[in-house]
Homo-oligomer: A and B are copies of this chain.
């Protein structure tokens, strides 16, 4: 395992200098073959890149420096993510870095922090997230996986699903029901479990690309020590929810659509329809939607830069970005003619893969809170419409 070196002092850099530093770092270190991967990478594919980031102290932008993170301001975190996305950097198995780490830093015991955080940075612990269940998807608070205290151990029974890359993980953090009755959001706790615990079974689910991105994870009398509870018992829901604050802006990042629009342009040129006036009109509308999305994204980013927190209206970004992404790939399908039905990219060029990107885009309006759930939230929390 590579031990992270002390990261450079990013605070000393201005925003634009930092942006340049990120670009330089990516250009110098990102493995060429992992750029813009067509599917979510497994640990064995992503490990090298993970360890490169770790060894240079670039792995955990949001963590404080004292825990080995980059300690970036909101403004610099926005730049970090923007440049990574713009570059097409490969997405890591990052649940430990993005979700668990910040939660432990805020709610974990000193012992938990000193034990787990370094192992995330070193790549020794690869985490997966056990939240959703077959009957608790959009309605996550209905979860029924249960943990009962038996002496010094929690005994876990139940099933999780949509667990991204669970087959690669050696640890899972999960929400479990520890009390019944009352509001369903109450009585939920946050537990940590090693994936090699007896009683855990992992079944990969093929996604629509027939790639094993998700798993079902079954818990059959799985025992973990009492001390694997994070935070207070029965208070796991609000802890897990609070984590989705700042980060929700990234679900609305324009980069995914920008990338897709660039590919649409490339495809249109390849197919000879770039100068077709009807296509041009359609493309211009998409380009304007993207430009306005950029502007809207910046208004939310400005709030973060001013130190404000984001309200529920940030859901507007997620809805618009995911649906724009889909409209762009829908347009690809419309111009691709027979290529729209083929499995492989046109002429073997990964950048000419309308069908693949179209299928990928299907997920954007489902995961991370479906468009329907986001609209429900906006109707109630932002517009104050009655239920």
Contacts and interface: CB of A to CB of B under 8 A. Distances in A.
Contacts of A276: 277
A385 interface: no
Contacts of A278: 277-278, 281
Interface in A255-284: 276-278, 281
A71 to B, nearest CB: 52
A353 to B, nearest CB: 26
A298 B369 CA distance: 43
A278 B281 CA distance: 7
Contacts of A281: 278
A276 B280 CA distance: 13
Interface string A275-318: 01110010000000000000000000000000000000000000
Interface string A148-176: 00000000000000000000000000000
Contacts of A277: 276-278
Interface in A297-346: none
A277 B281 CA distance: 10
A332 B171 CA distance: 61
Interface in A91-148: none
A276 B278 CA distance: 10
A278 B280 CA distance: 9
Nearest to A281: B278
Nearest to A280: B278
A93 B18 CA distance: 75
A287 to B, nearest CB: 15
A333 B232 CA distance: 60
A278 B278 CA distance: 5
A286 to B, nearest CB: 14
Interface in A338-366: none
A281 B278 CA distance: 7
5 contacts: A276-B277, A277-B277, A277-B278, A278-B278, A278-B281
Interface of A: 276-278, 281
